[in-house]
């Protein structure tokens, strides 16, 4: 089946540049449509990258605003294709001077995991392409898919794109109990796992980090080789484990 996600992202980008994004009133109130959509970002992604599925682009930064894009005041400008913008954004966010803290460290960890897996860089795909300071209630987002044709179509394209590709999702979970095969996922994480093509019924649990007799980071893994899926669950933080944990994940 030919890929439709990347061409769709180009159409979305062009529609935004022309001020013609059409979303439901609910989405219009929940997301910052003055900010450039970022459906995916390329962190030196080549022909066979690792796919990282994330929620949405987060808080709007100055360089993402329409006025900045129009004059090329930041890393992207209105003359670029979205593919070119995605690579420029990836290079921009990899620089610690532009993106600090956990988000930058997560990018570096994803690059390390991609290298261990023999993948060609990282392509970060967003579940929702629009910015918001605080992503609206995730249950509300899922409900909005019933009334927002544009978002529903976007999600369908994401699902098709991820189906036969290697995907990793990173999620924070409670620190209350040791992680294990029977861990209960939230409705949102269950939905994201399904979106990525991770079959929970057949998934195996891989402990990645253990401290004081408690598994503090683990992963649910399904599939094999070029289409493997992994949901990495980290106690207390939305990040990946260190090199030992990444090596353990690679072996799964």
Q: Which of 130, 128, 36, 136 is nearest to 86 (CA)?
A: 36
pLDDT at 237: 87
What average pLDDT does this structure show over 50-76? Answer: 96
Q: What is the mean pLDDT of residues 25-54?
A: 96
Cβ–Cβ < 8 Å for 80, 88: yes
Mean pLDDT of 179-206: 94
Torsion angle of C-alpha atoms 52, 56, 58, 61, degrees rounded to 10: 90
167 pairs with which residues across the strands? 51, 229
Res. 1: pLDDT tops 60: no
Q: Quote helix, strand, coil % in the chain, to nearest 5.
A: 40, 20, 40
What is the biggest distance separating any 2 CA atoms in the chain, rounded to whole angstroms? Answer: 56
Mean pLDDT of 87-115: 95
Kindly report the three-state secondary structure assignment for every residue of 108-153.
HHHHHHHHHCCCCCEEEEECCCCECCCCCCHHHHHHHCCCCHHHHH
pLDDT of residue 2: 62
Model confidence at 51: pLDDT above 70: yes
The string of pLDDT tens digits covering residues 14-31 is 999 999 999 999 889 999
Q: In what order do the strands lie in the sheet with 204-211?
A: 40-43, 122-126, 50-54, 167-173, 229-235, 214-222, 204-211
Strand 167-173 with 229-235, pairing: parallel
Of 181, 187, 196, the C-alpha closest to 229 is 196
pLDDT in tens, 109-166: 999 999 999 999 999 999 999 999 878 778 888 988 988 999 999 999 999 999 999 9
């Amino acid at each position: 089946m030919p890929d439709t996600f990347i061409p769709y992202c180009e159409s979305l980008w062009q529609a935004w540049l022309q001020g013609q994004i059409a979303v439901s009133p609910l989405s219009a109130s929940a997301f910052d449509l003055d900010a450039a959509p970022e459906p995916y970002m390329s962190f030196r992604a080549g022909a066979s990258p690792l796919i990282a599925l994330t929620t949405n682009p987060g808080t709007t930064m100055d360089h993402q605003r329409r006025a900045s894009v129009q004059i090329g005041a930041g890393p992207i400008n209105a003359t670029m294709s979205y593919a070119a913008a995605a690579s420029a954004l990836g290079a921009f966010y990899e620089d610690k001077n532009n993106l600090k803290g956990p988000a930058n460290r997560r990018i570096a960890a994803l690059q390390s995991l991609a290298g261990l897996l023999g993948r060609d860089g990282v392509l970060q795909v967003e579940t929702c392409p629009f910015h918001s300071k605080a992503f609206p209630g995730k249950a509300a987002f899922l409900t909005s898919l019933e009334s927002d044709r544009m978002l529903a179509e976007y999600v369908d394209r994401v699902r098709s794109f991820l189906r036969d590709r290697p995907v990793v999702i990173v999620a924070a979970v409670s620190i209350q109990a040791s992680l294990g095969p029977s861990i209960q996922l939230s409705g949102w994480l269950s939905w994201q796992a399904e979106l990525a093509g991770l079959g929970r019924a057949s998934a195996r649990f891989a402990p990645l980090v253990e401290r004081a007799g408690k598994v503090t980071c683990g992963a649910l893994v399904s599939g094999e080789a070029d289409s493997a899926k992994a949901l990495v669950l980290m106690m207390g933080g939305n990040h990946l484990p260190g090199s030992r944990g990444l090596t353990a994940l690679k072996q799964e």
